[in-house]
Structure 1
Amino acid sequence: MGERLVVVGGVAGGASAAAKAKRENPDLEVVVYERSGWVSYGACGLPYVLSGEIPRLEKLVARTPEEFRKQGVEIHAHHEVVDVDPELRTLTVFDHKEGRTFQDRYDHLVLATGARPLIPPIPGTEQRGVYTLRSMEDGEALLRALEGAKRAAILGAGYIGLEVAEAFRKRGLEVTLLELKDRPLPHWDGEVGSLLKEELERHGVEVWTGVRVKALRGQGRVEAVETSEGVVPVDLVLLATGIKPNTLLAQAMGVALGPTGAIATDEGMRTNLEGVYAAGDVAESFHRVLKRPYWLPLGDVANKQGRTAGSVIAGKEARFAGVVGTAIFKAFGLAVATTGLSLEAALEEGFQARKVFIQSRDGAHYYPGSQPLWVELVHEEGTGRLLGGAVVARGHGALRIDALAALLHRGGTVEDLLALDLAYAPPYSPVWDPLLIAAQQAR
């Protein structure tokens, strides 16, 4: 028998690890067990299926089980790994379709069990009409619910809450967005939150900030959300109050977690157990600005971690270089991109930090159709080291964030940013790029 790789979880991290390991070492036997009915899909696309911009869920699938089989990777959907014995390198698998349990063995094991939604401790969340959005099954359930719905409340104004608010409005629903903190996108500084709130309200989303949700009322089916500021009548509620790493299996088999509560790994995605790796939303990353473990449950990170694990298992040199926390999302006409630390986070972490926030444009002032664009830079006093930044734009101008992310990866400073030779032409930038204007002010 050849060496056998078993992957637990077949979405971004798991599918990437399986495919990469098989490509790099075709002699490996590779098996993937996925608890749900879907594998290898882009969960980040779910809000756009809900909005109708993407016509159906199947479009989000990157590779079907048949395509994996052609590559020599065996995919088993509706199969849940319920127990692992790391001493014997055996696992117990429950086949949900057949209702039977069986044993398997591994030489290498990748834990890619993802994350699960955090259900807030408020009465009434168990009723019909209350949803989360994490998996394809969640997407299917919400699509069905949208057919008769007229009014929706969304609890939480992070990425998912904001993207789904737009999707629900595009479907013609009345939408109320409820956030405990004083602004949408509460992990970032207030100016960005204000721009977002204005944009959401312009598109008919009711934004309630600084509100505490007390209960979801209804008789087995949700009818209203009771808050500290009043009652919101609803047909459906989306809980978008965060997620946590799905580490139950890992903990049961003795895999060590890190300070974030996700699985601790080295740069090759190895855990503390011989032959056991972790990738995706269940695994930690290393934050290059904070210089410590960090949890960043995003699809691109999961893919990179999976590829790294697959390469290492196949005997190739590979390392996952860590993250700086870069993210971008769309809220109606605004693209909002952030990287590194907000000023609030930097001060909390003990940095002597300052910020500048400027408004510029995404093209020359005389070029027709040029739009406002905002830049925030967070930097360390004295050294000028960049700690973070945000770019808010109407359109692709927000991708300027990638220049800031690249500098953060290299420990760059405000001076380094000023020295960059950035692209200029009137349709795309003023003669002084907004990043450079912000850097001049920071200096």
Structure 2
Amino acid sequence: MSERVVVVGADAAGMAAASQARRLKGPGELEIVAFERGHFTSYSACGIPYWVGGDVAGPDALIARTAAEHRARDIDLRMRNEVVEIDVAGQRVRSRDLESGNESWTGYDKLVLATGATPIRPDLPGIDADGVHGVQTLDDGQALIDTLESNPGRRAVVVGAGYIGVEMAEALINRGFQVTMINRGAEPMSTLDPDMGVLIRKAMQGMGIQIVGNAELTAVRTDERGRVTAVATTDAEYPADVVVLGIGVRPATDLARAAGLPLGASGGLLTDLAMRVRGHENIWAGGDCVEVLDLVSGTERHIPLGTHANKHGQIIGSGVGGDYATFPGVVGTAVSKVCDLEVARTGLRERDARAVGLQFVTVTIESTSRSGYFPGTTPMTVKMLAERRTGRLLGVQIVGREGAGKRIDIAAVALTARLTVDQIVALDLGYAPPFSPVWDPVQVAARKAVTAVRRDATGG
């Protein structure tokens, strides 16, 4: 008799899990039923800003596998069906067809939760007005594009200056909008230390984006039709024909909370190494709805990234399909682009290290993407954190132009391997003038960090 697996959420983690499980077991051994409340499946949410900005076609270009393709592999994918309740004791879920409103129960032997994350929408006057958009799904992206194309106004306000915020600001500039960014912090990109964030601010201001720092959104102003006209902060008002919320996301775990499943400090589901929900042998969870182990700090964090979601799905699918795999954790690597500026980080920021009791030294260096004499060479800034006394690498941040961003992968590998800055200096990295100076910028920073660690140890 075959088992039934129910998957809640049909994007990266959910359908990666379903596909991997199907590779391991055929329809006669494993029935797979997947529920998705949206119109799209298996898509790249990371590509939405580039779709909005006109860099890529969409939404079809962002879809890795269609619903029809999943169904052709004997996966019962039910689109526009939202799971509204989980009965853990009865091993069943209640779903609602969003077109008809009909509800039904579906039993399961194994359950996979891949409910993702939802954009943070503060409880403020006017926040749900026509013209205010969060951007998390392809449906969100299409709704924003519809607004941009139907609205004659050309004034946009982006609230929040994280990855989504800065990418959406660039997308709106590319569409010919006048863009104002409202940021709670002093500098954009709070995933970087402020001394690196200032480089992002200057680049964005150079693109014509007005950045309002240390500002708190208090309300969205609307006209008599309920359409957005401006946003208000504690100090001023800024006219707006469209507002994009880039404040961040929270794990979409209301279903899990109601079912009594274990959640962490940030509201994400807690799992074991095999991505099973703790205390529940037949329930797995992955993607943006879970917390993951930070291998550098030793803490559990909510880090919503597509790279993690796809890996989680593969591991969950292996477990559901009777195989074995584990997810050891992350080091917090991310890379982004603002116009021609590449921004990357991995590991801990200064405040992260302090929060977990680590003492450290920091160094910042200026280097170049290629040998200085080679055509097309561009500058880059590298900041590095190393633990006092031991010299263990704790974190790296890089801001530069072409050739800067992916250098963060050197640091990501070093963090995973718990290398010291001395060991990074000794790495045998590739060199040729078109690709790098003789000393790669990451190694230049490591050399300076070695000196700082030794000076700290001797009190010099």
1:43-100 C-alpha deviation (Å, 9 max, x unpaired): 1100000001112211111101111112111111111112222222122111112221
Alignment check: 8 A CA contact 2:336 2:405 kept: no
State the SS of the aligned residue for 1:338.
strand
Residue of structure 2 in register with 1:320 after alignment: 327
Q: Distance in 2 between matches of 1:426 and 1:135?
A: 42
Residue of structure 1 in register with 2:291 after alignment: 284
| Stretches (4+) displaced over 3 A | none
Q: Mapping of 1:235-250 within 5 angstroms?
A: 235-250=241-256
Residue of structure 2 in register with 1:160 after alignment: 164
Structure 1 residue 293 displacement after superposition: 1.6
Residue of structure 1 in register with 2:381 after alignment: 374
Structure 1 residue 358 displacement after superposition: 0.8
1:409-436 C-alpha deviation (Å, 9 max, x unpaired): 1111101111101111101111111111
Which deviates the most, 282-291 or 219-228? 219-228
User: Aligned-pair RMSD on alpha carbons?
Assistant: 1.2
Residue of structure 1 in register with 2:136 after alignment: 134
1:334-391 C-alpha deviation (Å, 9 max, x unpaired): 1100001012221232211121111100000100110001111111111101111012
Residue of structure 1 in register with 2:204 after alignment: 200
Alignment check: 8 A CA contact 1:178 1:207 kept: yes
Q: Mapping of 1:28-427 within 5 angstroms?
A: 28-147=30-149, 148=151, 149-219=153-223, 220-271=226-277, 272-427=279-434
Whichever residue aligns with residue 246 of structure 2, its letter is A
Q: Distance in 2 between matches of 1:118 and 1:342?
A: 23
Structure 1 residue 317 displacement after superposition: 1.4
TM-score, normalisation: structure 2: 0.94
Whichever residue aligns with residue 410 of structure 1, its letter is A
State the SS of the aligned residue for 1:396.
coil
Which deviates the most, 139-148 or 155-164? 139-148
Structure 1 residue 393 displacement after superposition: 2.0
Structure 1 residue 109 displacement after superposition: 0.4
Q: Distance in 2 between matches of 1:116 and 1:310?
A: 24
Asked whether 1:24 is paired with 2:28, we answer no
Residue of structure 1 in register with 2:8 after alignment: 8
Structure 1 residue 214 displacement after superposition: 2.3
State the SS of the aligned residue for 1:168.
helix
1:226-280 C-alpha deviation (Å, 9 max, x unpaired): 2234221110111111111111111222211123321000010111223111011
Alignment check: 8 A CA contact 2:274 2:315 kept: yes
Residue of structure 1 in register with 2:456 after alignment: none
Alignment check: 8 A CA contact 2:159 2:243 kept: yes
Structure 1 residue 292 displacement after superposition: 2.4
Q: Distance in 2 between matches of 1:259 and 1:242?
A: 16
Q: Distance in 2 between matches of 1:255 and 1:230?
A: 43
Structure 1 residue 152 displacement after superposition: 0.2
Alignment check: 8 A CA contact 2:382 2:441 kept: yes
Q: Distance in 1 between matches of 2:332 and 2:77?
A: 32
Whichever residue aligns with residue 375 of structure 1, its letter is V
How many corresponding residue pairs? Answer: 443
The alignment-based identity, stated in percent, is 41
Structure 1 residue 283 displacement after superposition: 1.0
State the SS of the aligned residue for 1:274.
coil
Structure 1 residue 157 displacement after superposition: 0.2
Whichever residue aligns with residue 296 of structure 1, its letter is I
Alignment check: 8 A CA contact 2:297 2:353 kept: no
State the SS of the aligned residue for 2:72.
helix
Which deviates the most, 327-336 or 86-95? 86-95
Q: Distance in 2 between matches of 1:344 and 1:259?
A: 18
Q: Distance in 1 between matches of 2:105 and 2:130?
A: 36
State the SS of the aligned residue for 2:323.
coil
Q: Distance in 1 between matches of 2:57 and 2:177?
A: 18
Alignment check: 8 A CA contact 2:54 2:175 kept: yes
Q: Distance in 2 between matches of 1:327 and 1:126?
A: 30
Q: Distance in 1 between matches of 2:355 and 2:261?
A: 30
Q: Distance in 1 between matches of 2:363 and 2:195?
A: 11
Whichever residue aligns with residue 442 of structure 2, its letter is L
Alignment check: 8 A CA contact 1:362 1:428 kept: yes
Q: Distance in 2 between matches of 1:170 and 1:155?
A: 18
Structure 1 residue 215 displacement after superposition: 1.6
Q: Distance in 1 between matches of 2:169 and 2:2?
A: 50
Q: Distance in 1 between matches of 2:167 and 2:196?
A: 16
Alignment check: 8 A CA contact 2:382 2:442 kept: yes
Which deviates the most, 385-394 or 211-220? 211-220
1:192-248 C-alpha deviation (Å, 9 max, x unpaired): 211101110111111111112222112211111122342211101111111111111
Question: Where in structure 2 are there 5+ consecutive unaligned residues?
Answer: 451-460
